Amino acid sequence: MRPWLVFSERLETLVRVLALVARWALFMMLVLGFWNVVGRYLGAALGYNLSSNRLIEGQWYLFDLAFLFGLSWTLQRHGHVRVDVLQARWTLREKRRLDLVGTFVLLLPFAFVVMALSVSPALYSWSIGELSPDPNGLPRYWVKSLIPLGFFLLFLQGLAEAIKSFIFLKDSEYLSRFSQEKSEEKSFD
C-alpha cells in the first residue's frame, strides 16, 4: 500500500506546485485589470491609448489558467460542492465510500472525456497558429491547450483522492500511520 500512497502524495505535490502558478496568474490578472482601467482613463486624459486588446485578452487568459489549474487544487482541498444534507449523518467510512464511488463513476470519466475531447481542438489550433479575431489580439492556441491540461490535472487529483479513499476503506490505521510518518518527516526538514 505504501507505493500507492507515495504515488498519491506525488500527484498531490504536482497539483500544489501548479496551484502556485494559478495564484501568480490571479495576481497578474489583477495587475493587468488594474492597468487596463487606469490606462483607459489616463490614456484618454493624455491623448494616448494605454490599454489594448492584448492586455484585455491577457487578463482573460490568466483567468483561464487560474480556473483550470484551480480545479484540481480545489478538489485536493475538498472545496467543491457536496451534498452535506445527506452526509451530515454519515460516518467517515460511509463518506469515503461515497467519495470513492463518485470519483470512479462521475469525476474520473468526466475529466477524461473533457480532456480527450479538448485535445483535438487544441492541436488543430496549434497547427493553424490560431489567433484572436480581435485586432491586435493574442494567439488562441496557448489558452486552448490549458483545457486538456487542466482536466488532466483534475483527473490526476481525482486518482489521488480515489487511492486515499480506497486505502482508508481497506486499512484506515495504515493511512493514519502513513500520514503521521509524513508529518514527522516534514518536521525534520
Q: Across the chain, what does the average pLDDT equal?
A: 88
Say yes or no to pLDDT of 178 above 70. no
Say whether pLDDT at 189 is over 60.
Answer: no
CA 155 to chain centre: 10
**Does 170 have pLDDT greater than 80?**
yes
Q: What is the spatial distance between Cα 87 and Cα 173, in angstroms, rounded to a whole number?
A: 22
Distance CA 156, CA 144 (A): 19
Looking at residue 78, what is its pLDDT? 87
With b for 16 or more beta-carbon neighbours within 10 A and e for fewer, the 20-53 pattern comes to: eebeebbebbeebbebbeebeeeeeeeeeebbbe
Please give the model's pTM, rounded to 2 decimal places.
0.85
* Comparison of pLDDT for 120 and 5, the residue scoring more: 120
Return d(Cα 16, Cα 43) in angstroms, integer: 39
What does the block give as the cell for 32?
493587468
CA distance 69 to 124: 22
Average pLDDT in the 9-19 region?
Answer: 95
Q: Minimum mean pLDDT among 57-61, 63-67, 94-98, 110-114: which range?
A: 94-98
